[in-house]
Chain A
Amino acid sequence: MAVSWIAGLRACAVVAGAALLLSGCGGAKVGEDTGAQASGDGGGKSACGTFNLAVNPWVGYEANAAVIAHVAEKELGCNVVKKDLKEEVAWQGFATGEVDAIVENWGHEDLKKKYIDEQKVAVAVGPTGNKGVIGWFVPPWMAEKYPDITDWKNLNKYADLFKTSESGGKGQLLDGDPSFVTNDEALVKNLKLDFKVVYAGSEAALITAFRQAEKQKTPLIGYFYDPQWFMSEVKLVKVDLPEWTEGCDADAAKVACDYPVYDLDKIVSKKFADSGSPAYELVKNFNWTNDDQNVVSKYISEDGMTAEQAAEKWVADNPDKIKAWLPAAAG
């Protein structure tokens, strides 16, 4: 024991010496200058409180969320907590009280039924203004070289082009971000197409496939959607399926028509809607065009900005649009 005591004493001396030495040339202390800043913008916080915003994993959604979060923080003084979640988990968050809002919802009738109609923990608060288009697309070089390929009736003529190691002798129809509902197996069958659906399995796989197809000029046809940031890099061309009419997709097994145009909408938790939070008014009023979203998405995906920087830039450029979203009292 004695030994360690002596060692300890010696160490203490070293510590004291070193501490003195270092603090002499120390530099700025924690809290000296940053403290003022922290208390500076805290003024309006009591009105709004915490706003739990789900962020689903695609860039377009992130654009919506970033702009809403930016306005909520700067204009309404909310404490915005962004939560990175897949759609289904985000909807569950309405039930567990951990998510206040989803700000770009693609359909999801089953989830609406469960959480809005049955459990009554969520409410739909109207469209975001964005139109979602789902369908089959080909890279632009193909549409140029084979102009009639954009009509589904000609697809069988070109089926051979689309053969791959995965498609078992038929043409390959590349499907598959697993998050999106697809009727493609039924469509192929009911339209009597000589194609096989191959599941890419992720958005990254789909985008990489289309990017390579355009760059290497290899044939590809696949499931894709718009608005999507990749469309501004490579403008994929939509193949026209038999036109969608009300009810033509009622029976999933008998579908033989195109996907409907989705009015993307916003969902909030019941609790949040009843709270009287100004952030709720903001979410309810939020509305912009596909072009607006594409600008912010481009800032994020191509110009390498963070979502926060992108939102700040767009908000600074569009003060009038912001004004229309703000609740009357705060405006």
Chain B
Amino acid sequence: MAAVPTTATAATGAAAPGRAGWLRGRYLTVIVLAAWVALWALLRGRDTLALGGAELTPLHTRLSEGMDAIDAGRNSNPLFLYFINYIRLFIDESVTFVQALISRPSFGRPVPVIGWLGVTGIATAVALLYGNRRTALLTAAGFASFGLLGLWEESMDTLALTLTAVVLALAVGIPLGVWAGLSDRVNRFLTPVLDFMQTMPTFVYLAPLTLFFLIGPASGTVATMIYATPPVIRITAHGIREIPVSTLEASTSLGSTRAQALRKVRLPLAKRTIIVGANQTIMAALSMVTIAALIDAPGLGKTVLKALQTLDVGTAFNAGLAIVIMAIVLDRVTSAAGRRVEAERRSGRARGTRARRIEAGLVLAATAVLVYLSHVYVWAAEFPGGAGLGSYVKQGAGAASQWAQDTLVTYTDALKNLITYGLLNPFQSLLAGSPWWLVALVVVALALLLAGARAAIVAGVSLVLLVLLGLWHDSMVTLATTLVATLIVMVLGVVAGVWMGRSARVDQVLRPVLDAGQTMPAFVYLVPILGLFGATRFTAIIAAVAFAAPVSIKLVAEAVRGVSPTAVEAATAGGSSTWQLIAKVQLPMARAGITLAASQGLIYVLSMVVIGGLVGAGALGYDVVAGFSQYQLRGKGLAAGLAIVVLGIMLDRIMRAAAQRAAARPAPH
């Protein structure tokens, strides 16, 4: 039943009959699982290390005291006086400056320096010059829609904070990524740090951040950076590493120094990958908009949170829609820019043909006119006409949510009960109801069988850490929910991913829906899903699936599309039916991509544990939320955050090692 290792093998294992050793491993796995169930029946309820909601362990108290000590030293500590204060000032000023330009009344004027027409013009010009006409059109429409939704100022606040955070993240992340790409040692050091930054729930460090960076834009920016910098570091390092050795040897044989090789060969070749990293960083930054609003970060997130207080789904959806539109615009523009860089490199043509320069000149000139107009005239400075579209969106979304809650609830309740009683409750009772040492033994044994000795050691250490953190029982409850959610994500991922990978039409229709699922803040749809599924673990699973499935679907689709056309043609010519083609050729050949989809899906599900805590999942997610809200529980909240990190790293390492093993087996045929 341990879903992680088996999902990794299920995708690949079924089609890969083979060596005796692998078969033996499979028998042993079954034996281990059977022994677990048998022992659980005998020993259940013993040594489960359950801890009540308000109960603390000595470690939790000590963690609280530690946080207090840092707090107390704030005014005398030189680190604060000479370092953090200046960083804070710098970031605060940067954000305020961008706000003065585009979102807030500034310099004694009742409106910002650049009005809506100017900002839209600049954004469109950037899209046109670095992307293409289609993205430019999309950008213009997207920015206009912020005004039409009645959220121009909020959108610009969000854009100001996101842009500042992204620029700083890139300024820190790209050099670090290059360094990690060049040096194995740096890479080995950074990897766990980045894992930590990405899996540690933001709620854990949100309140302490305001002690360091005070209440204001700086805290919001830093919280965003912590979550958004890792992707660009990882992807840049990957891009630098990926460069073929032969290309590098050619340059060194021509007498280039290391620095020259970096500047002339590595960086230009990695440029496209670095842009992909920037794209991921932008998306991650936008996903923080609502959470940063919890510490007074300005923008659309505040609108969402305010609406949630009165359960006003319509208003929350309206603001969520603006966030989705912003994400889609920024994604399409950066993706187009990446493709353009690649195309220009391939064609060997550097920028600067005559036609292009004229185009650029015209575009810049037109932009300058728009900026000027929006600086001077009221109609171009403040979006005219008010929120016509916004009120329709609000009413529509509110009515739809109400209708769904009133009419669908009997069916959704049945679905919830089916999954909860049929899958989640038995699995949770096995994981959380067994003695802790039994679960630990089983997990280590499974890791050993499926992923090798190293992964087994990581698993062992992680499990001991969970016990030491005092949150074993909660961790197991969260693990059960997480694994069930991941299973659903993978079922959806394979089904929709194959469909999408095989048809460009389906791809075109589904992609915006998936983008919306990924970028719509969960806070927007919490109320309708709560109405449909109640405050339950299943609601938490639904929220996690909504966020994680799009990633898995996209990755599976990518992998299916990547299957070599000759193999597909050969199978079709050999008379395979569509189902045979999918089952025998496309899925097996795409298994590396499917494994990646599973591991990414799992990480995304884990990142929703805290949101799950807000809708009834209890366990670690609730511990973190309560730690953020109640002074005496913050040590426990920190411990719960650490437990989530430990779970994430453990599952990730086991899965990766299992996937590597699977890949090392001979390919099917």
Contacts and interface: CB of A to CB of B under 8 A. Distances in A.
Interface of A: 3-4, 7-8, 10-12, 14-15, 18-19, 22-23, 26-32, 34-35, 38, 57-59, 62, 83-89, 91-93, 95-96, 98-99, 108, 110-111, 114, 164-166, 174-176, 178-179, 181-183, 185-186, 197-209, 211-212, 215-216, 229, 252, 300-301, 304
Contacts of A176: 535, 622
B76 interface: no
Contact of B54 (A11, A166, A182, A206): A182
Contact of A212 (B54, B405, B629): B405
B535 A92 contact: no
A83 B294 contact: no
Contacts of B378: 27-30, 32
B361 A201 contact: no
Given A59-B309, A201-B616, A29 B361 contact: no
A110 B369 contact: no
A110 B631 contact: yes
A165 B420 contact: yes
Interface stretch (B228-236, B251-259, B525-533, B581-589): B525-533
A28 B406 CA distance: 49
Contact of B373 (A4, A10, A14, A22): A22
Interface stretch (B18-26, B206-214, B280-288, B488-496): B206-214
B535 A174 contact: yes
Nearest to B612: A201
Given A35-B110, A38-B110, A89-B294, 13 more contacts: A11-B361, A14-B362, A19-B373, A23-B373, A27-B379, A30-B377, A31-B110, A84-B296, A85-B295, A88-B628, A111-B631, A185-B52, A301-B309
A92 B618 contact: no
Contact of B207 (A89, A201, A204): A89
B416 interface: yes
Contacts of B617: 201
A92 B211 contact: yes
A255 to B, nearest CB: 10
Contacts of B535: 166, 174, 176, 198, 200-201, 205-206, 208-209
Determine the main DSSP class of A at the interface with B.
helix
Nearest to B634: A88
A258 to B, nearest CB: 17
A99 B527 CA distance: 31
- 8 tightest A-B CB contacts, nearest first: A11-B365, A200-B535, A7-B361, A165-B420, A178-B626, A208-B530, A301-B310, A7-B358
A110 B306 CA distance: 27
Given A165-B536, A252-B54, A201 B366 contact: no
B360 to A, nearest CB: 8
A83 B632 CA distance: 23
14 contacts: A3-B358, A7-B360, A23-B377, A31-B109, A88-B629, A88-B634, A111-B631, A166-B537, A178-B613, A185-B52, A198-B616, A201-B616, A204-B311, A204-B614
Contact of B618 (A22, A59, A198, A207): A198
A199 B53 contact: yes
Interface in B276-309: 293-296, 302, 305-306, 308-309
Contact of A185 (B53, B115, B294, B629): B53
B420 A229 contact: no
Nearest to B357: A4
A29 B302 CA distance: 31
A18 B311 contact: no
Contacts of A8: 361
Nearest to A208: B530
A30 B375 contact: yes
Contact of B368 (A15, A59, A199, A252): A15
Say whether chain B's binding surface is mostly helix, strand, loop, or mixed.
helix
B365 A12 contact: yes
Contacts of B622: 176, 178, 199, 201
A191 to B, nearest CB: 15
A260 B343 CA distance: 70
Contacts of A201: 535, 613-618, 621-622, 625
Given A4-B357, A85-B296, A165-B417, A204 B530 contact: yes
Contact of B214 (A15, A87, A98, A200): A98
Contact of B110 (A34, A204, A207): A34
Interface in B350-371: 354, 357-358, 360-362, 364-366, 368-369
B614 A202 contact: yes
Contact of B625 (A22, A32, A88, A202): A202
B377 A165 contact: no
B326 interface: no
B381 interface: yes
A209 B109 CA distance: 47
Contacts of B534: 164, 209, 212
Interface string B301-328: 0100110111110000000000000000
A22 B118 CA distance: 14
B309 A62 contact: yes
A216 B407 CA distance: 10
A86 B530 contact: no
Interface in B425-447: 425
Contacts of A207: 311
B189 interface: no
B216 interface: yes
A98 B216 contact: yes
Contact of B215 (A59, A96, A301): A96
B479 interface: no
A14 B538 contact: no
B531 A211 contact: yes
Given A14-B366, A165-B416, A204-B308, A86 B531 contact: no
A272 B445 CA distance: 62
Contacts of A175: 53
A212 B409 contact: yes
B421 interface: yes
A202 B526 CA distance: 10
B375 A98 contact: no
Contacts of B305: 57, 84
B215 A216 contact: no
A165 B425 contact: yes
A38 B111 CA distance: 12
Contacts of A216: 409
A14 to B, nearest CB: 6
A195 B74 CA distance: 45
B81 interface: no
Contact of A7 (B362, B372, B375): B362
A84 B629 contact: no
B376 interface: yes
A197 B166 CA distance: 42
A203 B373 contact: no
Nearest to A168: B425
B630 interface: yes
Given A15-B366, A15-B368, A199 B618 contact: yes
Contacts of B302: 84
Contacts of B109: 30-31
A98 B295 CA distance: 12
Contacts of A32: 378
A19 B357 contact: no
Given A88-B207, A201-B617, A208 B631 contact: no
A253 to B, nearest CB: 9
Nearest to A87: B629
Contacts of B368: 15
Contact of A89 (B293, B295, B357, B369): B295
B516 to A, nearest CB: 21
Interface string B365-400: 110110011011111010000000000000000000
A256 to B, nearest CB: 15
Given A165-B538, A204-B526, A178 B629 contact: yes
Contacts of A185: 52-54
